[in-house]
Amino acid sequence: MPLLTPPVQRSIVVIGKENTGKSQLIAALTGCSPYSSNFRGSTIACETYVRDGMTFVDTPGILYRSDRATTQAALAQLQIHDVVLLVVKATHVDEDLADLWPLVAGKLGIVVITFWDKIASSGFTHSVVRDWKQASHLEFMPVNARNLTRTQRHEIVASLSAPSAFPYQWQPHPAGWRIEPQPTILEHPRVGWLVAILLLFLPAMLAVGFANRFAAIADPLVQWLIKPLIDALTGLLPLPEAMLIGRYGLLTMGPLLFVWAVPTVILYALFLGTYKASGLVERITVALHPLLRPFGLSGRDLVRVMMGFGCNVPAVISTRACSSCARKTCISAIAFGSACSYQLGATLGVFSAANMPYLAIPYLVYLTSTTLVYTRLIAPKSARSLQNSLMIEHRTFLERPRLVAIWREAQGTLYQFFTTAIPIFVAITLIASVLDEWNLLTALATILHPLMGIFHLPSDAALPIILASIRKDGLLLFAEVDTLSVLTPLQILTGVYLAGVLLPCLVTALTIAREQSLRFALILMGRQAVAAMVFSLVLAWAGYWIERT
């Protein structure tokens, strides 16, 4: 009996500019989830979808004339694949074809025109597409990627099974239409930036607020459930006991992670997934760019810094989509001023325990202000140049986000959190348990006791600051009754600020080292420590002088 030969798997690279609906098109076309994951704002890893003998490689959106790592990754994928699914927007079809055609000339493939629902479909528009088909001998298919019909799905798959060559010399006859979405209050010259800031901070505030309410209810229940296990493990050898149920043991710190941090990350990912699926992120990006350019950041970069309020790991990874002159500055801004779910939750917990929740306002104002000053000092001149305009293709259309689109945007952040951040959390917990069992943390705190006086802080503040440099929930040690009873509001504000920004947590630092290099991570940490101490001294002594007067 002859052996059956498995069908040949055709590999197709999907190429297009940002916000052309590539990911949405392929997800609708295949009905499959990708192997890798998206990040808010753009696809930053080449994703793979497999269906019916075809492998679709969804590349990051090409930002024309950009040196971003994501654009380079898309072009690299184009070099190693022979079959191309070129995606262009109907609203800017002339520009997209002119820019992208030279990249795909000589390859085999088809062209899909998305956002067809945004133009007035008529005999003229269909005749233009028909003329392109006849002149190029290539398949052009106009679709609405959000509502791909079964017939369109079959036609695209059939055309990709027998693709034609993109001709080298062909110049498409201009369609002549260009459609821009209606402006909103975000485009208002006077108040647009303010609305953009409010919209950007809203998900963080809502996520932390809802998550903290959930945690306040769930934490006592979880502690009650694990108490029998903790009692059963009591009496082990000193080191295993410390690693499991010690002050920083897995069972001791685990509930803190899954009860307090995980809900924040999930909610924040869903909120920003909604922003991305609706097109709101791109509108916010453009509105904030003029405000941030003097500080060496772009509107895109601020969105990534705000991502860190959910989890710093996907925020740092998402900087692959930054330009080369701004990426390191953006990473530094995330490490310094992006209060992750641990840090923000712990900070609010300390203020609440001290019956001073109002301290959250001056804390966030001072954190934001010093982050901008710090960024301005370290940003290269090229990033701060007035000639450095934001590289974004067009103002995006606002859409009613669908649940499937929101989940597709959010799952990348959650994937990185659960596969990268949590394993590092477990490793750090074990290391901290060993150091605590050997009394090394206490010894280090003792050495630093005299330095606390420089910041007008008591010696007891040393241990929370050390632990916050390892894991941001170390800030919660400020909430101990004995510590809070001797601290003034200014000291609480100074101590929490210093502990929060002195160093990025180890999870963030390791991610930065992996994304850039160990040398860059060490330089960043040293530079950040110096800046944090200077800003903390200004806060402590200026506040002390004001209190005295």
Tokens linked to 158: 């059939």
DSSP letter string, 190-221: TTHHHHHHHHHHHHHHHHHHHHHHHHHHHHHH
Q: Among residues 348, 279, 366, which one has the least CA distance to residue 18?
A: 279
Q: Among residues 127, 78, 131, 138, which one has the least CA distance to residue 102?
A: 78
**CA distance linking residue 130 with residue 470, whole number of Å:** 62
Handedness of CA 456, 459, 460, 465 (dihedral sign): positive
**CA distance linking residue 92 with residue 284, whole number of Å:** 21
**CA distance linking residue 307 with residue 204, whole number of Å:** 9
**CA distance linking residue 185 with residue 183, whole number of Å:** 7
Q: What is the largest CA-CA distance in the chain?
A: 97
CA atoms lying within 13 Å on the CB side of residue 350? 36
Rg (CA), the chain: 26
Q: Please list, in sequence order, all residues whose beta carbon lies within 8 angstroms of the beta carbon of residue 182, skipping any fewer than 6 positions away.
A: none
Question: Dihedral angle at the C-alpha atoms of 508, 514, 517, 520, nearest 10 degrees?
Answer: -10
Per-residue pLDDT of the chain (549 residues; tens, 9 = 90+): 444 444 445 788 888 887 788 888 888 888 765 544 443 334 445 677 887 778 888 877 776 555 455 566 666 777 777 789 999 999 999 999 998 898 889 999 999 999 998 887 778 888 999 999 999 999 999 999 888 888 999 999 899 988 999 998 888 888 888 888 888 999 898 899 899 888 887 887 787 778 778 878 888 888 898 888 888 888 888 888 888 888 778 888 777 667 767 787 788 788 888 988 888 888 888 888 888 878 877 777 777 777 667 678 878 887 877 766 678 888 999 999 886 766 776 787 778 767 787 888 899 889 989 999 999 999 887 666 665 555 555 678 888 888 888 887 788 778 777 887 778 778 777 887 888 888 887 787 778 778 888 998 887 788 788 877 777 767 766 765 466 677 889 999 999 999 889 999 888 898 999 989 999 999 999 999 999 999 999 999 988 788 776
Partner residues linked to 58 by β-bridges:
14, 47
Q: Write the CA distances from 392 to 65, 73, 190, 405, integer angstroms.
A: 11, 18, 21, 22
456: alpha, beta or left? (left if phi > 0; alpha if psi -120 to 50):
left
Q: Among residues 176, 170, 166, which one has the least CA distance to residue 95?
A: 176
Tokens linked to 69: 């790592």
**CA distance linking residue 152 with residue 160, whole number of Å:** 12
According to the model, what pLDDT value does residue 58 have? 81
Tokens linked to 494: 């100074």
Which long-range contacts link 196-202 to residues 24+ away (Cβ below 8 Å)? Answer: 196/283, 196/284, 196/287, 196/288, 196/299, 197/288, 199/275, 199/280, 199/284, 200/284, 200/288, 200/302, 200/303, 200/306, 201/306, 202/271
**CA distance linking residue 331 with residue 509, whole number of Å:** 10
Q: Please list, in sequence order, all residues whose beta carbon lies within 8 angstroms of the beta carbon of residue 378, skipping any fewer than 6 positions away.
A: 296, 329, 332, 527
Tokens linked to 472: 């941001």
Q: Among residues 208, 508, 507, which one has the least CA distance to residue 333?
A: 508
Determine the number of helices (DSSP H) and then strands (DSSP E) in the chain: 24, 7
The highest-level CATH class for domain 10-165 is alpha beta
**CA distance linking residue 450 with residue 395, whole number of Å:** 55
Domain boundaries, the chain: 10-165, 187-386+402-548
**CA distance linking residue 299 with residue 321, whole number of Å:** 13
Angle value at C-alpha 488, between 485 and 492, nearest 5 degrees:
90
